[in-house]
């Protein structure tokens, strides 16, 4: 701790020699900071100065810059905190260590004196007593010297400590003198100034906002509403035109589909007629083949009859050739049987073909009847749907007209209501702005009254303090 005496005294003297009564500017603060940048200043003291410097505030008071201290300097410059190191702790314990050594010397002297003392040896008893008395003398001298020097050191240490504490208090006083403590009155005055500034700002803001809102309604919203009216009118016309085009396209598409359906029906009917003609031609060809087959079989029968006649004539002329005649007769009978079987088969085929021809005729008749009924049904459907389509087009046209008229009326009503709402909103905002300005005025009066009450409380506290001092 004794190492702090000279640095504290030097810094205090240099602070007193500064030509600055109060530190109010950053330049003056730098002058004080330069004092703590000296190498002779202990490091704990420099750290305490940096913490104290961080707690300072800069502001303007009555148009001039001031520096205020928010905490007392003793909260940062603490003697036990700054001078808390190992050497100083040893210095404070030297006095007690000296006393301890003196007491230890007493016991060592007594121990040395008693070490050679022997009661059983009468011849050496005198010398043992002399040795014991010498040890006791040494021990008591050691105790006296230890206690004396311990008391002397403690007295000197306390004196030095008192001097260091006095220097430290002078240093704290010099710091407090250079840096003025911020008072509650200054804080209240600053709050009042900020409140008035905020009130003025809010007042200007409400006035500017009302003016800008009115200008926005007049310069932007009204032209925008006119543009909306024109746009909606154009949208109504374009919607009506688009709906008319949609109806025309729908009718055209319906007619195209109806025409395509009729064309497909007539095409199917033509295909069926063509198939019936092909079947009739095939039946005619089959009939011609049957007729040619019958003609060939009749020709074969005639040839057979000629051969039979020839054979009969040969049989009458050649009776001697009975074996050959019988053989030929057998072959002729066999051929006759074959021809009969062929005739029977041809007759069956012809009968089947006639039956098929009858069925084809019935199918052709049914197809013709169905085709006729389909044509009549398609004509009836067209007549029926033609009137339905005309009625649908008429009702759709009336619906579009009524919808357009109703939409236009609703849109006009909505725009009128919107303009009325905007007008009411503007009036309401004007009233709110007026009420806000009135509230701001009341708030200013309230803060003024609060400031006056605080001043009165300060005067009352000062008068009470003066009364207490007078009574003391």
Q: What is the pLDDT of residue 186?
A: 66
- The token pair at 215 is 């200008």
> What is the dihedral sign for C-alpha 151, 153, 156, 158?
negative
Q: What is the pLDDT of residue 85?
A: 47
Q: What residues in the chain have per-residue pLDDT under 50?
A: 85-87, 325
* Cα 277 from Cα 260, distance rounded (Å): 26
Q: Domain ranges for the chain, please list them.
A: 2-182, 224-439
* Cα 373 from Cα 367, distance rounded (Å): 10
Q: What is the pLDDT of residue 379?
A: 58
Q: What is the pLDDT of residue 103?
A: 83
Q: What is the pLDDT of residue 372?
A: 60
Per-residue pLDDT of 421-444, as tens digits, reads 556 655 655 565 565 556 556 656
Q: What is the pLDDT of residue 86?
A: 38
pTM reported for the whole predicted model: 0.35
């Amino acid at each position: 701790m004794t190492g702090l005496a000279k640095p504290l005294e030097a810094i205090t003297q240099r602070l007193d020699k500064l030509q600055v009564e109060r530190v109010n500017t950053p330049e003056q603060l730098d002058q004080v900071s330069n004092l703590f940048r000296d190498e002779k200043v202990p490091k704990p003291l420099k750290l305490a100065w940096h913490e104290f410097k961080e707690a300072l505030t800069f502001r303007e008071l009555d148009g001039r810059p001031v520096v205020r201290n928010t905490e007392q300097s003793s909260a940062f410059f603490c003697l036990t905190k700054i001078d808390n190191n190992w050497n100083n702790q040893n210095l404070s314990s030297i006095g007690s260590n000296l006393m301890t050594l003196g007491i230890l010397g007493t016991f060592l002297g007594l121990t040395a004196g008693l070490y050679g003392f022997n009661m059983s040896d009468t011849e050496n008893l005198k010398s043992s007593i002399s040795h014991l008395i010498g040890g006791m003398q040494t021990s008591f001298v050691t105790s006296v010297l230890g206690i004396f020097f311990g008391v002397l050191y403690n007295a000197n240490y306390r004196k030095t400590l008192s001097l260091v504490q006095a220097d430290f208090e002078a240093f704290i006083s010099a710091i407090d003198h250079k840096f003025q403590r911020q008072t509650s009155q200054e804080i209240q005055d600053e709050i009042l100034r900020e409140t008035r500034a905020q009130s003025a700002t809010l007042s200007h803001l409400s006035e500017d906002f009302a003016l800008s809102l009115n200008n926005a309604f007049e310069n932007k919203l009204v032209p925008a509403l006119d543009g909306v009216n024109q746009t909606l009118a154009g949208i109504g016309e374009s919607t009506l035109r688009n709906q008319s085009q949609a109806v025309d396209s729908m009718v055209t598409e319906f007619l195209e589909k109806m025409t395509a359906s009729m064309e497909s029906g007539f095409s199917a009917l033509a295909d069926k007629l063509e198939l019936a003609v092909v079947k009739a031609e095939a039946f005619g060809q089959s009939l011609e083949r049957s007729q040619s087959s019958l003609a060939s079989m009749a020709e074969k029968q005639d040839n057979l009859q000629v051969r039979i006649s020839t054979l009969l004539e040969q049989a009458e002329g050649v009776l001697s050739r009975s074996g050959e005649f019988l053989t030929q007769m057998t072959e002729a009978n066999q051929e006759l049987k074959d021809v009969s079987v062929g005739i029977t088969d041809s007759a069956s085929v012809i009968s089947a073909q006639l039956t098929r021809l009858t069925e084809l005729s019935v199918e052709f008749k049914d197809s013709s009847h169905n085709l006729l009924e389909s044509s009549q049904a398609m004509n009836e459907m067209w007549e029926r749907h033609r009137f339905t389509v005309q009625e649908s087009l008429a009702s759709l046209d009336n619906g579009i007209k009524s919808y357009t008229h109703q939409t236009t009326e609703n849109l006009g009503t909505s725009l009128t209501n919107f303009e009325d709402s905007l007008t009411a909103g503007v009036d309401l905002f004007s009233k709110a702005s007026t009420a806000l300005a009135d509230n701001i005025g009341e708030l200013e009066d309230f803060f003024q009254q609060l400031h006056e009450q605080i001043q009165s409380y300060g005067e009352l506290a000062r008068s009470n303090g003066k009364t207490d001092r007078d009574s003391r």
